[in-house]
Chains A and B, each alone.
Chain A
């Protein structure tokens, strides 16, 4: 705002204006001579003095006032073309005019300075307000830094600098700054105080060094130029800008730590419900196995052959159930890990369904599952082990929760392939339809067995393939789970040797 050109050029121009104004007044006075009296000519000079006082510095306008009186005396006051003053009256008039001119120029330049200060203050207040508004919507420290730099550059001629650093050591990472600037920043951060001209600390510096934030929480430092000892308002403005930036950074830090705390609490909550549910799911089949095995151990002779077979069957089926839970738990953990890489290859849905059916049939003695897979389906790019697990889980659930037939259908659509498993079970109430995909989202699952984890794994597998798993269900009619996989990669060219 108070950016001025180099002082010499500007003052030369000012002196030129003084001479120009005086010459102009003299020429006008000479031109008007036939028509007006000496009083009017004096008024022209007074006008010029007022103009100069308003536009120029006090010393220049004072010189202009003296010059005006001198010129009036030389050119117009008799005896003309001399500096002598003939009559006492003219002498008094000239002296009065000199005093008036000096007073006017004093007043006018004071007024001008006040106006300028007021305008500068208004601009600064407006800048602070604008910066505060902009800072209220930032989301990263980088944005704060960018806004802060442009605000400093708008307010001060510079070169300015702004560095964000959580600690004094953090300053070392700042690039492209002179060692002297870094030293100043380090010092102002250490002392949590402004350094530089007019501050009483390190007044010999050519810049102000301002810390961002107070003693408890320093988040960076700024270096502002030009710094004049007398420019208290400029320094206060720089401090106000830095305070705003520090506040914004503090707000960001609070938000981040609050979110982290929330996330951690949520994770712990999830983990404990997960553990509670999984230990329930593991303990139930284990109890059945231990019960059956101990019965065979202690009452072996008393049990009839049918009873023995029943106990052995129960051990085998509970163990295979335990195996399924373990597989699903491990798979869920693996799918949630950040570095997951799918072993994707060209796979045929017909083969995946075939392999799953071969595995399921021993658990489906009545052939409740009816598969319908059309010929010539496009291939999908996927992880076959995961896709088989998904289809297996869906069929497993359908066998467990429904009665009657289960229809497995695969169909190809223009951009996607769809696999649906429809059962005629009790159906799922609308309120629960989203929850059943969450891994143990519901705390209480007593009485029902590990369906929650299986579907969570299914959905995770579908999503890992860029697809989705949907559910349509009506209470009393049954449920239809559909896996939709995108066919976004062009099919392999079937030119076969």
Chain B
């Protein structure tokens, strides 16, 4: 079964480029120029992934993310310019899965789509419990973290934070989501907790904390646990 991607983008060149490069990879590509067109397509034939550009002529996409999240768990990847930080975070917090900053390469787009599809349906199916990359192994069920075969001791909060990232491995998790899930909804403004705990976690599991391999910073947005 071919996977279906819905590309919502108003610029013709970028739309054509995405369409051709995704078709080459074997995806069935649908395109929409406006949000209303995208909504119509969604109702007609639900896609497996949505690539959504910010700054469409008829709205900022928030409405579409809410509409989709009401019934479906289709992954949504937001495409934004660098200065659209606030909008991007708003969409991620509303339930979008990941983002890409313009200009991006085709390789980056494909990688994001791959990660998004891997997580598809995890809300229903049994969650990922083991994460392995390079010399790092995290087993959520066994509460165990190993670096180069040696066990790493984590405090309960450190483990909770890491586990939250493992469950979204490869995808960005916003500051707000992390704070709400690890500390509780009333702590969503306490970003300094994240800075301090991330520092401690990196010191324990990264070979070079100043240039992390696993716990990646998405500047101004959140964190991402590397998955490849």
Q: Tell me the minimal C-beta distance from B34 to chain A in angstroms.
A: 26
Question: Residue-by-residue, is A339-360 near B (CB-CB < 8 Å gives 1, otherwise 0)?
Answer: 0000101111011111101100
Decide yes or no whether B43 CB sits under 8 A from chain A. Answer: no
- What are 29 pairs between A and B in contact, CB < 8 Å? A316-B105, A319-B103, A323-B103, A334-B83, A343-B220, A346-B191, A348-B195, A348-B198, A350-B209, A350-B210, A351-B195, A352-B219, A353-B211, A354-B210, A354-B212, A358-B211, A373-B210, A375-B199, A376-B199, A379-B196, A384-B219, A385-B85, A385-B220, A492-B190, A492-B192, A494-B196, A496-B157, A496-B197, A497-B187
Is A355 a contact partner of B216 (Cβ separation < 8 A)? yes
Is A357 a contact partner of B219 (Cβ separation < 8 A)? no
Q: Inside 8 A of B193's CB, which chain A residues have their CB?
A: 496
Q: Tell me the minimal C-beta distance from B21 to chain A in angstroms.
A: 14
Is A388 a contact partner of B219 (Cβ separation < 8 A)? yes
Is A385 a contact partner of B191 (Cβ separation < 8 A)? no
Q: Which residue of A lies closest to B213 (CB)?
A: A358
Q: Which residue of B lies closest to A494 (CB)?
A: B196
Q: Inside 8 A of A167's CB, which chain B residues have their CB?
A: none
CB within 8 Å of A: which B172-228 residues: 183, 187, 190-193, 195-199, 202-203, 209-212, 216-220
Q: Inside 8 A of A388's CB, which chain B residues have their CB?
A: 219
Is B217 a contact partner of A354 (Cβ separation < 8 A)? yes
Is A348 a contact partner of B199 (Cβ separation < 8 A)? yes
Decide yes or no whether B70 CB sits under 8 A from chain A. Answer: no
Q: Inside 8 A of B202's CB, which chain A residues have their CB?
A: 350
CB contact between B210 and one of A371, A494, A496 (< 8 Å): that residue: A371
Decide yes or no whether A125 CB sits under 8 A from chain B. Answer: no
Q: Tell me the minimal C-beta distance from A317 to chain B in angstroms.
A: 12
Q: Tell me the minimal C-beta distance from A293 to chain B in angstroms.
A: 13
Q: Inside 8 A of B44's CB, which chain A residues have their CB?
A: none
CA A316 to CA B83, docked complex, whole Å: 22
CB contact between A327 and one of B82, B191, B197 (< 8 Å): that residue: B82
Give the total of B residues in contact with A, Cβ under 8 Å.
Answer: 29
Q: Inside 8 A of B105's CB, which chain A residues have their CB?
A: 316
Q: Inside 8 A of A496's CB, which chain B residues have their CB?
A: 157, 193, 196-197
- Which residues of A pack against B, CB within 8 Å? 316, 319-320, 323, 327, 330, 334, 343, 345-348, 350-355, 357-358, 371-373, 375-376, 379, 383-385, 388, 492, 494, 496-497
Q: Tell me the minimal C-beta distance from A381 to chain B in angstroms.
A: 9
Q: Inside 8 A of A351's CB, which chain B residues have their CB?
A: 195, 198-199, 217
Given known contacts A327-B82, A385-B82, is B219 in contact with A355 (CB within 8 Å)? Answer: yes
Minimum-distance CB pairs A-B, first 4: A346-B192, A373-B210, A492-B192, A355-B217
Q: Which residue of A lies closest to B187 (CB)?
A: A497
CA A385 to CA B101, docked complex, whole Å: 13
CA A90 to CA B22, docked complex, whole Å: 141
Q: Inside 8 A of B157's CB, which chain A residues have their CB?
A: 496-497
Q: Inside 8 A of A345's CB, which chain B residues have their CB?
A: 191
Q: Which residue of A lies closest to B212 (CB)?
A: A354
Beyond A319-B103, A371-B210, A494-B196, 6 additional contacts (C-beta under 8 Å) are A334-B83, A346-B191, A350-B202, A354-B217, A355-B217, A497-B157
CA A319 to CA B195, docked complex, whole Å: 34
Q: Inside 8 A of B192's CB, which chain A residues have their CB?
A: 346, 379, 492, 494
Q: Tell me the minimal C-beta distance from B208 to chain A in angstroms.
A: 8
Q: Tell me the minimal C-beta distance from A162 to chain B in angstroms.
A: 52
Is A347 a contact partner of B195 (Cβ separation < 8 A)? yes
CA A353 to CA B206, docked complex, whole Å: 15
Q: Tell me the minimal C-beta distance from A393 to chain B in angstroms.
A: 14
Given known contacts A330-B83, A355-B216, is B183 in contact with A497 (CB within 8 Å)? Answer: yes
CA A492 to CA B218, docked complex, whole Å: 22
Q: Inside 8 A of A352's CB, which chain B residues have their CB?
A: 217, 219
CA A106 to CA B210, docked complex, whole Å: 104
CA A343 to CA B210, docked complex, whole Å: 24
Q: Inside 8 A of A384's CB, which chain B residues have their CB?
A: 219-220
CA A496 to CA B157, docked complex, whole Å: 9
Q: Tell me the minimal C-beta distance from B156 to chain A in angstroms.
A: 11
Q: Tell me the minimal C-beta distance from A104 to chain B in angstroms.
A: 95
Is B197 a contact partner of A346 (Cβ separation < 8 A)? no
CB within 8 Å of A: which B64-109 residues: 82-83, 85-86, 103, 105
Q: Which residue of A lies closest to B184 (CB)?
A: A497
Q: Inside 8 A of A320's CB, which chain B residues have their CB?
A: 103
Q: Which residue of B lies closest to A346 (CB)?
A: B192
Q: Tell me the minimal C-beta distance from B210 to chain A in angstroms.
A: 4
Q: Which residue of A lies closest to B203 (CB)?
A: A375
Is A357 a contact partner of B82 (Cβ separation < 8 A)? no
Q: Inside 8 A of A316's CB, which chain B residues have their CB?
A: 105
Q: Tell me the minimal C-beta distance from A363 to chain B in angstroms.
A: 14
Q: Which residue of B lies closest to A348 (CB)?
A: B195
CA A123 to CA B209, docked complex, whole Å: 81
Is A357 a contact partner of B220 (Cβ separation < 8 A)? no
CA A372 to CA B211, docked complex, whole Å: 10
Q: Inside 8 A of B203's CB, which chain A residues have their CB?
A: 375
Q: Which residue of B lies closest to A496 (CB)?
A: B193
CA A372 to CA B197, docked complex, whole Å: 20
Q: Inside 8 A of A494's CB, which chain B residues have their CB?
A: 192, 196
CA A351 to CA B82, docked complex, whole Å: 19
- The CB with the most chain A CB atoms within 10 A, among B85, B190, B217, is that of B217
CA A351 to CA B217, docked complex, whole Å: 6
Q: Which residue of A lies closest to B208 (CB)?
A: A371
CA A372 to CA B216, docked complex, whole Å: 18
- The CB with the most chain A CB atoms within 10 A, among B82, B192, B202, is that of B192
CA A388 to CA B101, docked complex, whole Å: 15
Q: Inside 8 A of A327's CB, which chain B residues have their CB?
A: 82
CA A387 to CA B68, docked complex, whole Å: 35
